[in-house]
């Protein structure tokens, strides 16, 4: 099988460049003590490597097969490659995609295929779409163009490894290759090991997508019950019959990465190259960063295999990148429900860390449980841990807990005394919010606090105040009106919904 795959890659070199040119292999600076190169498949005709395999496989169709047309299943990038190949070869492609496929990838299929491609949305996963595509192929006589478990497809995908070898930047000590079905990983590993026998090939899978690691451990492809689809391009329930034994032979190791670690890799690529990779495209870099301690002094390559990111994903990526880079953490504190208690916590214990989120609602007369998000360097966060322990401040790391993730702020409006709510706009700089709270602490207590950093120059917080007396409330309003702070009182209809 290994020799057959090598021969397929060799023959594919005469076909794939009819529709695309070699992509660059670039040196990239990352926070890692290694010489790192990035294979820029995001600069290909469909902004992903899948055009190589799709065109190579379809270029081998007979005239009769082209006339009947093809069918395929894809989470997005293979679909674009098949659509492009169908248009160039004068065939027709019926393309089955999961209903959750990002709109951008659906639109790209229509762009590349035109009248030569038809999209059918079905099911919730690649496996659902593949089952329907195989049924169609059996009934219609169309050729099924597999996204990964086909030697023609793998042969085309392996041409990117040929370009790595031909670049002259090798030999490499290690390569980090993302795995979906395993076609690209098997082909690239096959070619690189032929030219760099000492190279260590590391496959990278998502924690909840590890179909290849599961298959190799079991000795055969095993269908996963659940597959996370954040990295949609690698969301495969079951490894291929061909790719599994090839990966078992050719990969030296398979590691898994979390969605947060992938988000951190996307952030690194943006900071170093102003490139926004799709989640699957950044998995190789995520794996490399996870193993950075063992790569000191090495020459390493990773594949940026795609940049077809859906714009709607960017907010989640931005929020979770710092968690994946171990720069962001959320704590739930337990403290006495006393006036100025939150401000005292901020003043005495949290100096030197950047507060990027506050979630707090009053639920009890005597005890408060605010959630505060911090962003700082890992050493600063470790120092914060020690400081909280030394001061015996009850706290809990709630970074991954669902109510924090979904920003569910618990509160009991019946506990609020003469509440007054405002939206406060303030300069997004260290100490600005603290200065406001300090100025108001003698007249009001906080009963609700909802703030999250959005990366803008202006911070926005929804804050609820309560008062012991009507006189204190009047004094607070006078202070607020006389201040230079930008605020807006929450209107009565909104307040009624909240209270």
Are 143 and 161 contained in the same domain? no
Query: Is the predicted pLDDT of residue 286 greater than 90, yes or no?
Result: yes
Q: Is the pLDDT of residue 63 over 80?
A: yes
The 3-state DSSP class for residue 425 equals strand
310 and 335 in a single domain? The answer is no
Say whether pLDDT at 464 is over 70. yes
The tens digit of pLDDT for each residue in 206-229 reads 999 999 999 999 999 999 999 998
Mean pLDDT, to the nearest integer, of 251-271? 97
- Of the two residues 375 and 135, the one the predictor is more confident about is 135
414 and 362 Cβ atoms separated by less than 8 Å: no
Quote the pLDDT of residue 279.
96
Q: Is the pLDDT of residue 137 over 70?
A: yes
Task: Name the domain count of the chain.
Answer: 3
Task: Based on the fold, state whether residues 57 and 122 are members of the same structural domain.
Answer: yes
Q: Are residues 169 and 204 in the same domain?
A: yes
Q: Do 272 and 290 sit in the same domain of this protein? A: yes
Higher per-residue confidence, 300 vs 384: 300
Pair 75, 121 in one domain: yes
Interval 8-59: pLDDT, tens: 999 999 999 999 999 999 999 999 999 999 999 999 999 999 999 999 999 9
**CA pair distance 31, 461, nearest whole angstrom:** 34
Give dist(CA 61, CA 203) in Å, integer: 31
pLDDT of 428: 84
How many Cα neighbours within 13 Å face the side chain of 320? Answer: 19
- Element holding 257 (H helix, E strand): strand 253-257
Query: At how many degrees (to 10) do helices 259-273 and 314-324 cross?
Result: 100
The answer to whether residues 245 and 290 belong to one domain is yes
- What per-residue confidence (pLDDT) applies to 101? 84
Where a domain ends, among 283, 300, 324? Answer: 324
User: What pLDDT score was predicted for residue 427?
Assistant: 86
- Please state, for a pLDDT cut of 90, what percent of the chain lies above it: 80
Residue 348: band (very low, low, confident or very high) from pLDDT cuts 50, 70, 90? low
Same domain, 110 and 250: no
Answer whether residue 75 shows pLDDT above 90: no
Are 349 and 291 within one domain?
Answer: no
Q: Nearest-5° angle of CA 259, CA 264, CA 266? A: 95
Overall average pLDDT of the 302-317 stretch: 93
Mean local confidence (pLDDT), 448-461:
91
First to last CA, the chain: 68
Answer with the one of 110, 135, 150 that is the final residue of a domain.
Answer: 150
pLDDT at residue 439 in the model: 83
- Give mean pLDDT, residues 162-170: 97
Same domain, residue pair 287 and 355: no
The closest alpha carbon to 9, from 146, 153, 113, belongs to 153
The pLDDT of residue 391 is: 85
Residue 59 belongs to what domain range? Answer: 50-150
Same domain, 265 and 352: no
pLDDT of residue 474: 95
pTM value is: 0.90
Confidence of residue 310 (pLDDT cuts 50, 70, 90): confident
Question: What CATH number is associated with residue 238?
Answer: 3.40.50.1100
What DSSP letter does each residue of 79-136 carry, written as one string?
HHHHHHHHHHHT--EEEEE-TTS-HHHHHHHHHHHGGGEEEEE-SSSHHHHHHHHHHH
> Do 120 and 175 reside in the same domain of the chain?
no
User: What is the domain-level CATH number for residue 458?
Assistant: 3.40.1020.10
Give every CB contact of residue 141 below 8 A, 6+ residues apart in sequence: 68
How many whole angstroms separate alpha carbon 424 and alpha carbon 426?
6
Of 303, 324, 345, which one is at a domain's C-terminal end?
A: 324
Distance between CA atoms of 349 and 362, rounded to whole angstroms?
21
Q: Which region among 166-175, 193-202, 254-263, 451-460 has the lowest average model confidence (pLDDT)?
A: 451-460
**Angle, CA of 327, 253 and 11, to the nearest 5°:** 115
**25-32, Cβ contacts within 8 angstroms, sequence gap of 24 or more:** 25/163, 25/164, 25/167, 25/169, 25/301, 26/273, 27/169, 28/272, 28/273, 29/272, 30/268, 30/272, 30/285, 30/288, 30/289, 31/268, 31/289, 31/292, 32/288, 32/289, 32/292, 32/295
């Amino acid at each position: 099988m290994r020799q057959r795959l090598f021969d397929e890659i060799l023959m594919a070199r005469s076909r794939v460049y009819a529709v695309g040119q070699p992509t660059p292999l670039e040196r990239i600076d990352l926070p890692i003590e290694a010489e790192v190169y990035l294979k820029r498949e995001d600069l290909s005709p469909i902004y992903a490597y899948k055009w190589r395999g799709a065109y190579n496989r379809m270029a081998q169709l007979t005239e009769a097969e082209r006339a009947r047309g093809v069918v395929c299943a894809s989470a997005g990038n293979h679909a674009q490659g098949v659509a492009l190949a169908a248009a160039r070869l004068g065939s027709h492609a019926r393309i089955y995609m999961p209903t959750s496929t990002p709109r951008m990838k659906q639109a790209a299929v229509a762009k590349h295929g035109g009248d030569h491609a038809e999209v059918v949305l079905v099911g919730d996963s690649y496996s659902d779409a593949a089952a329907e595509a195989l049924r169609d192929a059996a009934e219609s006589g169309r050729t099924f163009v597999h996204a990964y478990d086909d030697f023609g497809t793998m042969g085309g995908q392996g041409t990117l490894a040929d370009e790595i070898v031909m670049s002259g930047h090798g030999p490499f000590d290690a390569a980090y290759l993302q795995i979906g079905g395993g076609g690209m990983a098997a082909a690239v590993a096959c070619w690189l090991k032929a030219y760099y026998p000492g190279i260590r090939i590391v496959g990278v899978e998502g924690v909840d997508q590890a179909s290849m690691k599961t298959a190799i451990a079991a000795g055969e492809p095993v269908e996963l019950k659940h597959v996370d689809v954040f990295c949609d391009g690698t969301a495969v329930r079951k490894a291929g019959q061909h790719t599994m034994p090839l990966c078992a032979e050719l990969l030296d190791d398979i590691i898994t990465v979390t969605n947060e670690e992938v988000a951190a890799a996307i952030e690194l690529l943006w900071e170093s190259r102003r490139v926004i990779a799709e989640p699957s495209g950044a998995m190789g870099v995520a794996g490399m960063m996870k193993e950075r301690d063992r790569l000191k002094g090495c020459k390493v390559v990773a594949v940026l295999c795609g940049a077809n990111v859906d714009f709607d994903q960017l907010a989640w990526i931005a929020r979770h990148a710092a968690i994946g880079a171990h720069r962001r953490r959320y704590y739930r504190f337990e403290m006495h429900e006393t006036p100025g208690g939150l401000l005292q916590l901020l003043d005495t214990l949290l100096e030197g860390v950047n507060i990027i989120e506050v979630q707090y609602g009053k639920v009890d007369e005597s005890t408060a449980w605010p959630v505060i998000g911090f962003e700082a360097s890992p050493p600063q966060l470790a120092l914060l841990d020690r400081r909280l322990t030394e001061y015996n401040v009850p706290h809990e790391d709630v970074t991954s807990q669902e109510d924090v993730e979904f920003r569910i702020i618990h509160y009991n409006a019946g506990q609020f005394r003469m509440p007054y709510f405002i939206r406060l706009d303030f300069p997004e700089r260290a100490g600005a919010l603290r200065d406001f709270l300090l100025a108001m602490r003698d007249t009001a207590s906080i009963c609700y606090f909802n703030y999250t950093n959005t990366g803008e120059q202006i911070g926005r917080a929804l804050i609820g105040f309560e008062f012991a007396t009507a006189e204190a409330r009047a004094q607070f309003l006078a202070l607020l009106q006389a201040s230079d702070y930008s605020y807006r009182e929450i209107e009565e209809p909104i307040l009624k919904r909240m209270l």
